[in-house]
Chains A and B, each alone.
Chain A
Amino acid sequence: MALEVPLGRLQRWLQEVVVHPGSAEEAVAAPAARAFVPRRRVGEVILPSATLRPEQRLGIYHGMYLLRMEEALESDYPALKHFLGDDGFRSLVAAYVRAHPSRSYSLNFLGRHLPDFMRDAPGLRRSAFCHDLARLEQAVAEVFDAPEEPALRAEEIAAVPETAWESARLVPIAAFRLLGFRYPVNAYVQSVRDLDHGHPALRRRDTWVAVYRREYAVWRQDLDRAGHRLLSDIAAGERLGAAVTAALRRGRGRRPSAKDLFRWFRGWMGAGMFRSVEIG
């Protein structure tokens, strides 16, 4: 005898079973699922097979859910998984998707709240380091998929009158992010990618990184405090004259020399971080 359940209720029930954090047996008995199908009537909704009870059949879908979520997040956060280990990462994923289930047609967006989630996650070891690490990996993922824009070419730069540079603004490409961290997470990411298990010490140390894409490859460039600040001002739309003047006057840390500025600009331009120069 089949229990008549309208399609919408049936789907909500099955979804509650699939996403339940416990076992499939616990899932069908949980209040969220029982709101749609009473536990004792599961056998009137799902038929047994020759080898499996209804709950066991449901368990196939249930068991695949977290694996799929873990796989998706691992692809964006490989260094974070390395740091937390398989069990730690699995626990994080389970907690995260309970708080932030996918609401998009694409798994690409599943991890967008993960850095903030980590910052406040109770019981997570080294949560401040993990938060920084996740922010960097999130930036890499965003830059990987950002729209493609042609970088400023040498002839476009050469065509700017010398007198126009002071009031000019440089516009960064879409595939560009600037970040500051409390830990040396870029070095950690690199050590994971290099399969180098002599990871950098996880002592607190301010670090700055530019993440950008060039010829469809994502790059991570370490910056110092002054370089990061100057690049931040430029990316925020500050006129070059004002941004450079501010950089030369800043009191904290080492003041950049003219040679530093020349080296930085040449490197940033050569890396293709900007798409246009606005004059006037």
Chain B
Amino acid sequence: MGHRHSSGSNRWGLPDLGIGVGLRTVHFAHILTHHPRVDWFEVLSENFMDTGGRPLHVLDQVAERYPVALHGVSLSIGSTDPLDREYLRKLKGLAARTRARWVSDHLCWTGVSGRNVHDLLPMPYTEEALRHTASRVRAVSEVLERPLVLENPSSYVEFAASTMTEWEFLSRLAEEADCGLLLDVNNVYVSSFNHGFDPRAYILGIPADRVVQYHVAGHTHKGTHIVDTHSDHAIAEVWDLYRLAWRRTGPAATLYEWDEDIPAFDVLHEEALKARAHREEPVAAGTAHGA
């Protein structure tokens, strides 16, 4: 592939896989036919956990040729429902099958009372929520026999009960549950607009040595708020945050997310590869200090 993996700067030594893209159905034929020179693929866990058909057949071939990391949307780590042990069993099996370098999901909950609304619902950032989530992260890491990696979500509401910022919550959670972080710089930007905080303070507040992976993506500006649609090119401000974060964390695998109106594979890959140039550009004055 196009990138020689180097050891990442995170505390576990998980590798910097280079610049990857998500494995999406519309690109299956292209990938299998052309074997593009992409560094690695991120795989949506739930899309492959319950199929014995073509998706799994394609994934097996992709995992044979490329490094893979699993990324889930249904772990529901913050839910007050019990952990779904069957889900975890299947997740662990898929990770073994694909030799996944790590397994990530989101700091969120997706349902309660036995239901799943299939959205990344926000957590209140309270001591109660922190204790609750940390104990579940530890339990999941124990089942998976590896540190869970958690992504900062985009969010559209703020809870009045929150007693700390999201980055303080994530930092304390990572420390108390000993988990890795997937830093989505687009989500930082989206939430910073929606909630009116300084996105650079967020980036500078995250423990750099726990960042295992980055997400970069496009979003949709609705005027009154921004929605994390993964449907476009990333804007310059998002790349600025990526650059700022990269200076702090050092090398970490980077993934470009594009999930709606997905373009041809080459267009997507080209967008992802912009990360390479941003890694090498200097950070604008006044943005990198305070790390």
Residues in A lying within 8 Å of B, measured CB to CB:
1-8, 10-12, 14-15, 18-19, 43-47, 49-52, 54, 56-58, 60-61, 64-65, 68-69, 72, 101-109, 143-148, 174-175, 213, 216-217
Contact = CB atoms under 8 A, between A and B. Distances in A.
B96 interface: no
A27 to B, nearest CB: 13
Contact of A145 (B52, B74, B116, B158): B52
B50 interface: yes
Contact of A147 (B52, B132, B161): B52
Contacts, number: 140
A46 B155 CA distance: 12
B79 interface: yes
Nearest to A106: B46
B196 A7 contact: no
B175 to A, nearest CB: 20
Nearest to A216: B54
B115 A61 contact: no
Contact of A213 (B53, B80, B128, B159): B53
B15 to A, nearest CB: 28
**Size category of the binding interface on chain B:** 35 or more
A189 B55 CA distance: 23
Of listed B56, B113, B161, residue having the most chain A CB within 10 A? B161
Contacts of B84: 105
A215 to B, nearest CB: 9
Given A12-B113, A44-B160, A51-B225, A7 B124 contact: yes
19 contacts: A2-B159, A15-B117, A51-B225, A56-B224, A57-B156, A57-B225, A60-B156, A60-B227, A61-B157, A101-B115, A102-B115, A103-B115, A105-B74, A108-B46, A145-B52, A145-B55, A146-B53, A216-B54, A217-B54
B30 interface: no
Contacts of B205: none
A51 to B, nearest CB: 4
B112 interface: yes
A57 B113 contact: no
A14 B49 CA distance: 28
A49 B49 CA distance: 38
Of listed B46, B76, B160, residue having the most chain A CB within 10 A? B160
A12 B112 contact: yes
B57 A216 contact: yes
A45 B158 CA distance: 8
Contact of B117 (A45, A54, A65, A106): A65
Contacts of A145: 50-53, 55
The 5 closest A-B CB pairs, nearest first, are A147-B52, A2-B160, A105-B74, A216-B54, A8-B80
A6 to B, nearest CB: 7
A43 B194 CA distance: 17
Contact of A47 (B160, B223, B224): B160
Given A3-B160, A47-B159, A106-B50, 15 more contacts: A10-B159, A46-B157, A46-B159, A47-B158, A47-B160, A49-B196, A56-B224, A61-B119, A65-B117, A68-B118, A69-B118, A103-B114, A105-B110, A106-B49, A175-B53
